[in-house]
Amino acid sequence: MSNNFSKEHLEYISKVKKKNRKVFLTQIGVLIAFLLIWEIAARFNWIDTFLTSSPSEIWKLFINYVVDGHLYYHLGISLFETIVGFILGTLIGVIVAIGLWWSDFWARVLDPYMVILNALPKTALAPIFIILFGAGYKGIIATAISVSLVVTILNMFISYKSVDEDKLRLLETFGATKMQILRKVIIPSSIPDLISTLKVNIGLSWVGVIVGEFLVSKAGLGYLIVYGMQVFKLDLVMMNVVVLGFLCAIMYKFIAIVEERFTKWQK
C-alpha cells in the first residue's frame, strides 16, 4: 500500500503519528504525576485525607465494591438512565430542530421561548419532573432529557439555518422538494455540528442523571455519592467521582471514533 504514496507523504504521516503518540503519552504522564503527587501528599499528611482520601484508599474501596458486586449494580442503573436520557434527548432535540427549520413561522413563534428555556437552570426544575413522571427511572431519565434537550434544539437549528443559501436556491431552481433538500444537503452538512452536540450532551446527560439520583434514587452512582456524604465516608464519594470521570471519558472516546469515521469525507 505504501507504493501508492510519495516519500514526502509517508514522512508526513509518520510525523503525524509520532505527534499523536507524544500527545497521548504526555496525557498519561500528567495523570500518573497527578496521582503520585496526590498519594505522596496524603502519606505525608500535607492534605486532609478525611476530605480528599488518597488514590490507594480509593483503589482498595473500588476493588471491594467490584468483588462484592455492588458497583456493577449501581453502575448499571446510572449507565442505563444516562444512555436512555442521552439518546432520547438528542433524538427529540434533532426532530424538533428539523421541525423548526421546516416551518419558519413556528421557528419565529418559539424563538423567545427557546431562549428562556435555555437560560433556565434545568437542574432546579428536576423536582418538578420527578413529581410529574414519578420518583423512579422515568423521573430521572426525564431530568436527563430536559438538561440536554434545549441545547440540542438550538445547536442543530442554528446548524440547519447556516447551510449555504446558494446551494438551497440551486436545488429549488431544479425543482427539489423540501424533503430532498433536507436529506441531501441539510442533514449531511450538519453532521459535524451533530457530533459536537453529542459530545456536549454526554456531560449534560450525566448531570441530569446524577441530580435526579441525588433527589430520589435508592440506587446508582448519585445515590452512592449522597450516601457517602451522609455517613462522612468521603473516600466513597471520591471513588464514585473517579468512576464517573472514567465513564464520561469512555463515552466521549466512542463519540470521537464515530466523528472520525463520519467526517473523513470533509478531510
Instruction: Check if the beta carbon of residue 159 is closer than 8 Å to that of residue 121.
Output: no
The residue whose grid cell reads 501528599 is 41
DSSP 3-state assignment of 103?
coil
Give the total residue count for the chain: 267
DSSP 3-state assignment of 16?
helix
pLDDT along the chain (267 residues), means of 10: 66 82 90 91 85 85 86 89 92 92 88 83 78 80 88 90 81 81 84 87 88 82 86 84 88 83 62
Q: Strands, E, within the chain: which ranges?
A: none
Alpha-carbon distance of 212 to 167, in angstroms, equals 44
Query: What superfamily in CATH does domain 53-266 come from?
Result: MetI-like (1.10.3720.10)
The pLDDT of residue 26: 93
> Where do the domains of the chain lie?
1-47, 53-266
Kindly compute the dihedral angle of the four CA atoms of residues 185, 190, 195, 198, in this order, to the nearest 10 degrees: -120
The pLDDT of residue 1: 45
Instruction: Check if the beta carbon of residue 80 is closer than 8 Å to that of residue 213.
Output: no
The pLDDT of residue 92: 93
The residue whose grid cell reads 500527545 is 23
